[in-house]
Amino acid sequence: MPLSIQAVVDALGAHAPHPFAVTLPDGARHACGHGAPAFTLHLRTEAAVLATLARGHIGLLEAYFDREVDVDGSFHAAMAVGLASDLSRGTNPLLGAENRLHELRHSNRDPAQAKANARFHYGLGEAFYRLWLDDPLKMYTCAYWREGTATLEEAQRNKIDHVIRKIRLGPGERYVDIGCGFGGFMFRAWETVGALGTGVNTTTEQVDWLRAEIARRGLADRLAVREADFRDVDGQYDKVVSIGVLEHAGRDQLAEVIRAHADFLKPGGLGMLHFIGHVGRYDTELFIRKHVFPGGWIPSLADVIVEMERCGLEVVDIENLRRHYAPTLDAWAERFERHWPQIQALDPQRFDERFRRIWRTYLVGCAEMFRAPTGYTHLWQIVFSKGNVTRDSYPMSRAHLYRDDAGDGGR
């Protein structure tokens, strides 16, 4: 086997947590690790080999999307090996240049481009997401797997109730849900504590569905949704909820989006930032930006806190829920695979085999990323206030977060 191909196999196997095998177009087979392989990676064409040599893990992944590479066995194990490998750790100047070019083409600086970026992912239709998210809330963010949680539905309700308690959301309070998705938080917050919500969402398809659902439930005098950019502030609210938005601010728009969060909040009010963030400053993975979330950028926790300080926001509490994201993604990936025939039937041209492979890689790969023992990508919840809290405005301990009754906002 040529030295260059051997180097690729060695790079994959250097830190591999599972044994595996690789087959080449000429039929040669090479094993890595001891014991039965957890998976076998089949490089079907010379083009796949060349793409991997030239572009590392991106070349290998895109060859898989193009059906020039196949994986037999555990896809979770394959993603875990890929994440741990030297193949994805190295700095490839071609990929760095491609990431910079992507930013020039897809920057969220322009609201129209930011909207197009959001619709690329979130505009796939309620029928698509309903098949694999929790039913009926359709929360598309990390769930909360408190001890004893058995289902994705329960875990997502747990997450919403956890946020309600953290910001002490109560009856009749007006809050804004920035990036409200299909309105799951809004519906549950009304049902459990009687809070009045306004959602802000830039994805037309989600806004249209949610408006119709609010009307169908007869809640138009209690809940509303605006089709607007996250930076478009329409007034001040008692509370701010932001679940899975900062990742979509963009590489250079973090300050703008956090400033908008502050401007949405009344003096003395409480808010919640729930977001994926890095420990340290790193480029966001090109695969995610190119194939899944164009314009997206994962900020560092430190940079987020600095911008919050500049906006006069007090950080009241920070919780790391990284360990909760792997089981959330596991559940999504399992449901996505199980319901793939129904997904494909929705639109066979859009939901083709290439789409399935990209989304399978995204869901399973992210699960293994959050599960990795040495990863630097985490899930943060930051409670913040506009101005400092007092003994009277916020509890002195976290005891209110863990009461069994979720229906009083933790009061």
The tokens for 277 are 């963030």
338 vs 255: CA distance, rounded Å: 40
Q: What span, in angstroms and rounded, lies between the C-alpha atoms of 236 and 263?
A: 7
Q: Is 180 among the catalytic positions?
A: no
Q: What is the Cα–Cα distance from 320 to 324, expressed in whole angstroms?
A: 9
Phi-psi region of 54 (alpha: psi -120 to 50; beta: other; left: phi over 0): alpha
For 364-407, give the DSSP string.
HHHHHHHH-TT--EEEEEEEEEES---TTTS-SSSGGGG-S--T
Are 248 and 358 within 8 A, CB to CB?
no
* Catalytic entry in 32, 142, 180, 366: 366
Task: Judge whether 291 and 112 are in contact, CB under 8 Å.
Answer: no
HSE toward the beta carbon, residue 298, CA cutoff 13 A: 19
Catalytic positions, written as ranges: 366
